[in-house]
Amino acid sequence: MKHGLRSLTAVLMAILMLICLYPVQSVFAENTAETTQAEQTAKPKMSAAELQAQGILSVGAKGDEVTRVQQRLKDLGYLDGKVDGQYGGGTKRAVIAFQRANGLTTDGVAGQETQDRLFAEDAIAAPDDSPVDVLTGDVPILVNKDHPVPGGEFFNPADLVQLNKELSSKLVTIKYKKTRGVKAAVDALKEMLEAAKEDGIGKWQISAGYRTWDDQVSMLNSKVRSYQKSHKDWSSSKARRAALRTVAEPGYSEHHLGLAFDINKKGASTFKGTKQSEWLNEHCWEYGFIIRYTEEKEKITGFEAEPWHIRYVGIEHALYMRDHDLCLEEYIQGLEDGSIVNPATRDSSAGTADTAVDTETDPGESSEEPAEVTEEPAETDEAA
């Protein structure tokens, strides 16, 4: 009851404040519309030509000033298109990218501040965002809480394909139709799911694949918001800390690589204990995947167990990790300090045919034991 009264008071106060503030805001808007620096306030009311007369360039502007800005954007690596003196969508996107990289408001309008920065000697050039071959090299790429994707925000894996175009709906349900992954990993996924089908295990669903920087930002934000909603006494930093236990910081999620997928049983509320989970745990390695986060390795991976999150590393690496009960962190450490001979390069250096490498499982080894995992509702499946 008390609580109800308090929130009612809060709502009334908020309405009162809005009423009080309203005229002040309008007056403010009218006043600042006349000044050139208030580009945002002025934008909706003025045409591109009117703005241009004030030195503010936006979509629709044209002429030498636009050419000059375009040329500079091109020199800095932001503009791919033509330098034609026409401020169109391409120029706007280039301006936004420039603003983002230079810590400015990303409105796509080249006002005074943006132009000053653009022509400054220390203007930051476009970072290299050319697609990266994530499967090149003899060692799998490590992404975890200490190792961000190479290139951070501008990282961009090569050879992405849309899953629903590669995988038949009879084989697997793709929860979000735009889900993408790196072609080689998707091919391996296909092979694995076909084998599962032959074993009588179906009803698979993929709920996540490649994730962009922006995807991860919104995912983390929504997790923080949901904690704040369910724990009203939590500070925002506490909610963020809690969210980071299951959702990775942007740039630190394996999903950025395009090699990780969240796979579960369609319609099941938990994945743990399903036949699908058991099958995956036993066989994914044979197709080059690892179960990335297990309970027993939580302290090393830094993530709570996720029996649904698989990462493609290639068959040789996956089988080695399975047979020696290693998580990716331990495995890469071993490759780096020389305690593990890289199975991906071992054969070619010995000059022998690469048949039957480590395909036999040592019967006494841990691969038999199903990874014990924490109970997780299916809706949190897309976490790390």
Kindly tell me which of 337 and 379 has the beta carbon lying closer to Zn ion: 379
Could you give the string, one character per residue 220-259, with x where binding to Zn ion holds by CB under 5 A and - elsewhere? ----------------------------------------
Closest separation between CB of residue 195 and Zn ion, Å?
22
Segment interacting with Zn ion (CB under 5 A) among 158-166, 235-243, 265-273, 309-317:
309-317
Kindly tell me which of 99 and 264 has the beta carbon lying closer to Zn ion: 264
Looking at residue 343, its amino acid is: P
Q: Which residues contact 317 (CB under 8 A, 6 or more apart)?
A: 140, 288, 290, 331, 343, 344
Q: Please identify which residue in the block is written with the tokens 């939590």.
A: 234
Question: CA 1 from chain center: how many Å?
Answer: 44
Instruction: Confirm or reject binding of residue 376 to Zn ion (CB under 5 A).
Output: no
| Distance spanning both ends of the chain, measured CA to CA | 40
Looking at residue 201, its amino acid is: I
Based on the residue annotation, tell me whether 282 is a catalytic residue of this protein.
no
Kindly tell me which of 72 and 211 has the beta carbon lying closer to Zn ion: 211
Instruction: Confirm or reject binding of residue 309 to Zn ion (CB under 5 A).
Output: yes
Kindly tell me which of 311 and 322 has the beta carbon lying closer to Zn ion: 311
Kindly tell me which of 223 and 309 has the beta carbon lying closer to Zn ion: 309
- Catalytic one among 39, 153, 254, 306? 306
Instruction: Confirm or reject binding of residue 262 to Zn ion (CB under 5 A).
Output: yes
Segment interacting with Zn ion (CB under 5 A) among 264-272, 303-311, 332-340, 359-367:
303-311
Segment interacting with Zn ion (CB under 5 A) among 199-207, 272-280, 302-310, 360-368:
302-310
Looking at residue 315, its amino acid is: I
Count of all residues that appear for the chain in the document: 384
Closest separation between CB of residue 12 and Zn ion, Å?
44
Closest separation between CB of residue 113 and Zn ion, Å?
40
Within the chain, residue ranges assigned H as helices are 2-32, 39-42, 48-53, 64-75, 89-101, 112-118, 163-166, 183-198, 213-230, 236-243, 275-283, 298-301, 315-323, 328-337, 343-350
Rounded-to-5 percentages of helix, strand, coil across the chain: 45, 10, 40
Instruction: Confirm or reject binding of residue 153 to Zn ion (CB under 5 A).
Output: no
Q: What is the total count of residues that contact Zn ion (CB under 5 A)? A: 2
User: Whose CB is nearest to Zn ion?
Assistant: 309
Structure-block tokens of residue 151: 């290139």
Q: What is the DSSP letter of 204?
A: E
Strand partners, 182: 160
Strand partners, 162: 180
Q: Which residues bind Zn ion (CB under 5 A)?
A: 262, 309
| Active site members | 306
